[in-house]
Amino acid sequence: MEHDTLHNDEPPIPVESTEGGSADGSGSSDAPVPAHTPAPEPPPVPVEADAPDEAHVQRVVVVPDTKAAVRRKRTARLRLIIIIAALVMVGAAVWTFRNFSSAPLEKIASFESAVTSEVQSGFSSFPQQNVIAPRGRLTPAQATLDVKGVIADTNTERSTHGGLPALQENATLDDIATLRLDNMFAHQYFAHVSPTGESALTVASSVGYDHIALGENLAEGWFNGDQGLLDAWMASPGHRANILDTHYTQIGVAAREGMFQGRETWIAVQVFGKPASACPAPPDPALRTAIANAQNALTQMGTSLQTMKAEIDAMSPPSGSVYNQKVSDYNTLVSEYNVLAAQTKTEIERYNGAAAAYNACL
């Protein structure tokens, strides 16, 4: 029986040996067996992409580089440390400058003011030469003196000799003249000062006549009327000076006949005056005392400043906290000195001005 032979048109599939032997188990083969080669993958089929839908586009979050961020933080921290260190150094430099640099010294103000106008005392004149006229051949009627007449004739003399202004009769000065006249008759003396020390000045004080100028003329005897009395006074230099004195603005007169040292005679009294109200007020004496005290204080402060300045100049180096403390103390005293000097200068100017105005009115 014949069997049909089967034919396979496909080539045989080679078998790879894992042990190095043949497929039939013989373990070897003379013909080489080709290695298995994988089949190539088919190429990708291109697919046309549809247009992207904007509504479905997702945001892409970029994750920062961690190392770069760390480096930036370190750089920023280093810069901050440098800035802080710089500020500390500047502060230290400022503190050092303030505490160890040379501090400036304040200047002492010059003080050259002084009281140049001393207040003058009130003017007074009491002629020592007495005017005494013997009775002679005058009758009582011829020798009669009248207060109004004596004042009128006095002003005539002033007008004739230099055109001086007339003196105004003052009731208080009339009272002073009368008191003086009565005292001389009562105590039998003829002089500007009584045996008990009374004078026109003391009487003026007792009656309250505040004056800056006061004078007195006396005459005893028999005169040929009011003009005769004025002629006798004008012939005496001291009495004439009182009549023509420009200081006086007021006058008071008293004259009467009476018993004097055992005989009948006339005594006439002229009192000249210038009231204090006619002039500016003199400077307050308390102001003069305050100025003197301030000047003494300035002298003491000036001595202390000289000592302190010498100590400062001797310090080496001229810096440091101790040096600056001494300079601060010195400057504080200089400021006090300058303030007091300015105040004292103002007070001296005020005093001098008041004194000059007052003295010019005397």
pLDDT tens for 131-151 read 887 766 788 888 899 999 999
The Cα–Cα gap between 16 and 22 comes to 9
For the cut 80, the answer to whether the pLDDT of residue 314 exceeds it is yes
Range among 27-31, 34-38, 115-119, 343-347 rated most confident: 343-347
Percent of the chain residues topping a pLDDT of 90: 56
The Cα–Cα gap between 218 and 127 comes to 8
SS3 label, residue 299 = helix
- Spell out the residues 6+ positions from residue 117 whose beta carbon is closer than 8 angstroms to its own: 351, 352, 353, 355, 356, 359
Q: What is the DSSP string of 321-342?
A: HHHHHHHHHHHHHHHHHHHHHH
How far, CA to CA in Å, does 284 sit from each of 149, 331, 356? 41, 34, 13
pLDDT digits (tens, 9 = 90+) for 48-98: 445 455 444 455 455 556 777 777 778 877 888 888 876 666 554 444 434
The Cα–Cα gap between 302 and 109 comes to 11
Predicted confidence at residue 90, as pLDDT, reads: 54
Predicted confidence at residue 191, as pLDDT, reads: 94
pLDDT digits (tens, 9 = 90+) for 172-227: 999 999 999 999 999 999 999 999 999 999 999 999 999 989 999 999 999 999 99
Predicted confidence at residue 5, as pLDDT, reads: 39
- Tokens representing 36 are 């298995």
The Cα–Cα gap between 270 and 215 comes to 8
Mean pLDDT, the chain, integer: 81
Q: What is the pTM of this model?
A: 0.58
- Spell out the residues 6+ positions from residue 5 whose beta carbon is closer than 8 angstroms to its own: none
Under 8 Å between Cβ of 203 and 197: no
Q: What is the DSSP string of 15-71?
A: ---SSS--TTSSS--SSPPPPP-PPPPPPPPP-PPPPPPGGGPPP-PPPP-HHHHHH
The Cα–Cα gap between 70 and 73 comes to 5
DSSP strand pairing (123-125 vs 211-221): parallel
- Which has the closest alpha carbon to 342: 116, 104, 112, 118? 112
The Cα–Cα gap between 232 and 133 comes to 8
For the cut 80, the answer to whether the pLDDT of residue 113 exceeds it is no
Using pLDDT thresholds of 50, 70 and 90, give the confidence band for residue 296: very high
Predicted confidence at residue 35, as pLDDT, reads: 47
In the block, residue with structure tokens 């004195």: 245
